[in-house]
Structure formats: structure tokens, C-alpha cells
Amino acid sequence: MDAQPPLGYNTYSIRAMRWRDVELLEYAAKLKLDAVYLQDSIDPGNDDPAHWKELKETAERLGVRLDGGDAGALPHTADGMAATQARMRRAIQHAVGIGSKLVRFRVAGDRASLPPGTVEQAMETMVKTLKSVRSEAMDAGVKFAIENHKDLVCRETRQVIDEAGKEFVGSYLDTGNPVFVMEDPMETVETLGPVAAMLHLRDSVVYETPDGVAVEWVPLGEGVVDFKAIIAKAKEICPAIAVYNKPITGRPPVHLSIYKREFMEKWGDMRGSQLARFLALARAGHPYEGTMVIEDVRGKKPEAYTEALKAQQVAHMEAGVEYARTVLDLGVRWRG
């Protein structure tokens, strides 16, 4: 990784704004960021090649690196494989169209959403699925970036990448998801850093409860994750990649009942050393002490509530950008 990696933002972090793609690029330019990761676009032109061309030209005009492209996740059953492969091929075309070298792909949303069978079988299916589009990805010069989500532990994600082929598969390295699989984010960086295609920063609080551990995502720099150490490690072991600020806030704490047998039965692949590192993080942690508007509420939200969510997402984004610059020394363009 370069001494001063490019700094960008992940557009999902300000999803409440409901901005179209060009507006998201202009926002990055306004903040003097180096890059944008376009994730979960709601733009009406998202599937239109003419729109892709417009985005590529806009990014070039603004001097912003544009990454994007999403192929979803493995199908839950075998009869969905053809549709998944078609989506992967379309995602390659989209990435080429906007000038991105990356396509995001996931094994599943979480452990409960894995295809039927064992974790090892899901990993084997993932490898076969990736290899089925290898030639198209290689010809296009596009790499599939596998997001470490709430499904596999980091060593398993690394195994999928290694077995599929590092020449066209890398890591969408996310520091927020590890706590949901009871993993210290530093362990995730140590394991996936050497094959990282990009690095997304998201902070968390992690703390003990009477029968387990609670985790919650918080603004960058306000949690218990040591990002100075993470960036130092990333600079040591990662290739030259962009770093994206990706706060996802406004969600309540999630309780992990690690002392209950029925909860841990889903995690028979977990190693004691992994859990020990995670528990050490929790024992040193604490609940979030700041204020937070919670978005995951039932029913129609009143306008004032929606406006509060918008303000919160923008505030957390911009605070994270400032933290990444002043504390972590990330980014190029803002230096003038």
C-alpha cells in the first residue's frame, strides 16, 4: 500500500439522501476525495450502458476514481445458479462501462443465509461459481472482490480467494463485518490484507453482556477498533489499494449469545484463538455513548425523522473523512 493511500467513500453510507449517481460523484469532488465506491445504486439508469458512459466521463472530469459493480451473492439453491452467473457477467460489463476494475460479490448475507449444506460445501460452490466466469473477468481486466460479510470467517474467505485464483479474485476488505462473525477486525486485516483489492473502514463498539457480547456500528473513530494499528498493518501487507470510509450507522446493537449452545452450533468452524481475540476486544470495550437516530423502525417514518436520518448519515460521513485525514493520514487530493 502506498504511504498515502487514496481516500474515498462508499455511497451506501449516505443512502438516505436518495441521490443519483452523478450527484454522488459530485459530492466526492466537493469533499476533495480521491475515489468513490458506488454501491447499491438507486439511479434509474443503473442498467443502461449510456449511463455507464456518462458516469465514466463524469468521474474523469471531476478527477475522481470510480469503483463499482455488484454481482450479489450465491443463490440459495442450485436452480438459481444460471441467474447468478448471468448477473456476474452483467456486472463485469457494468464495471467496464464505468471504468471500474472491481466487481463486488458475496457468499451470503449472513451465516443463516448460506446455501443448504455445510460451510465447506458453500465455499466449494463459491469457488466453482467464480471459476465459471474466470475467462470473462480476465478478458475484461476486472477482478471479483469478495466482501467478508456476516457469513464466513476470514481464513475461509481467504481460502475461497486462493482456490478460485488470485489473478482475478481479491478481497473487498471490510472492517465492520468481522465483529458479527466474532472476529477481531485486526485478524481480518492480517488474513485478507495481502489479497485485498480495496479497504473499507467501518468502526464498531463491542462489549460484554451477561450472556454474550453486543456489537454495534458507529462513526469512524468513535468505536473500540484501533484504526491506527489497522492502517499501519495495511500499509505493511496490502497492495496499493484505495481506502473507503464506510460508516453504516443508525442500527441498534446486535446481541451475540455466545454462551448459548444453540447459538454456537452454527459456528462449529470457529477456532478458539479467533474467539479469544474477539473476547479480549469485548472485555476492553464499552457501549456507544453518543447519540444515534435509529433507522430500523417499523411503520412509515415522519418527514422530520427522515430528515434527521439524512443529517446523521452526512454528519457521520464527513466526520469519518476528517478522522481518516487528520488521524490516519489518508488521502491525496485534499492536501492541495
Q: What's the pLDDT tens digit per position in 143-165?
A: 999 999 999 999 999 999 999 99
* pLDDT over 90 (residue 27): yes
Whole-angstrom distance, CA of residue 12 vs CA of residue 14 = 5
Mean pLDDT of 7-16: 97
Q: What is the pLDDT of residue 297?
A: 65
CA distance between the termini of the chain? 21
CB atoms within 10 A of CB 18: 10
What is the arithmetic mean of pLDDT over 241-254?
Answer: 97
**Cβ–Cβ under 8 Å, residues 213 and 206:** yes
Within a domain: residue 298?
no
For residue range 248-268, list pLDDT tens digits in order: 999 999 999 999 999 999 999
pTM of the predicted model, to two decimals? 0.96
Q: In what order do the strands lie in the sheet with 254-256?
A: 203-209, 212-218, 254-256
pLDDT at position 2 over 80: no
Burial class (CB in 10 A: 0-12, 13-18, 19+), 290: exposed
Number of domains in the chain: 1
195-228: b (≥16 Cβ within 10 Å) or e: bbbbbbbbbbbbbeeeebbbbbbbbbbbbbbebe
Phi, psi (5° rounding) for residue 35?
Answer: -155, 160
Position 15 in a domain: yes
- Is 226 part of a structural domain of the chain? yes
Residue 142 · residue 101 · CB < 8 Å? yes
pLDDT at 304: 87
* pLDDT the model gives residue 302: 80
Is residue 272, in this structure, part of any structural domain at all?
Answer: no
Residue at 74 is within a domain = yes
Instruction: Tell me whether residue 258 is in a domain.
Output: no
For the beta carbon of residue 41, count every other beta carbon within 10 angstroms: 21
CB 204 within 8 A of CB 220: no
Strand pairing partners for 38? 68
CATH number assigned to the domain comprising residue 49: 3.20.20.150
Q: Domain residues for 25?
A: 7-203+220-248+320-335
In a domain, 86, yes or no: yes
Query: How do the residues of the chain divide into helix, strand and coil, expressed in percent and rounded to 5?
Result: 45, 20, 35
pLDDT band at 336 (very low <50, low <70, confident <90, very high): confident
Give the pLDDT band (50/70/90) at residue 3.
confident
Query: Which DSSP string corresponds to 251-271?
Result: ---EEE-TTSHHHHGGGTT--
Asked if the structure places residue 123 within a domain, the reply is yes
Q: What pLDDT shows up at residue 303?
A: 85
Q: Which range among 39-53, 172-186, 293-307 shows the weakest confidence by mean pLDDT? A: 293-307
**Nearest of 70, 69, 52, 50 to residue 60 by alpha carbon:** 52
Is residue 72 within 8 Å of 106, Cβ to Cβ?
yes
Q: Above 80 in pLDDT, residue 240?
A: yes
The pLDDT assigned to 148 comes to: 98
User: What are the two backbone dihedrals, phi and then psi, of residue 14, each rounded to the nearest 5 degrees?
Assistant: -120, 40
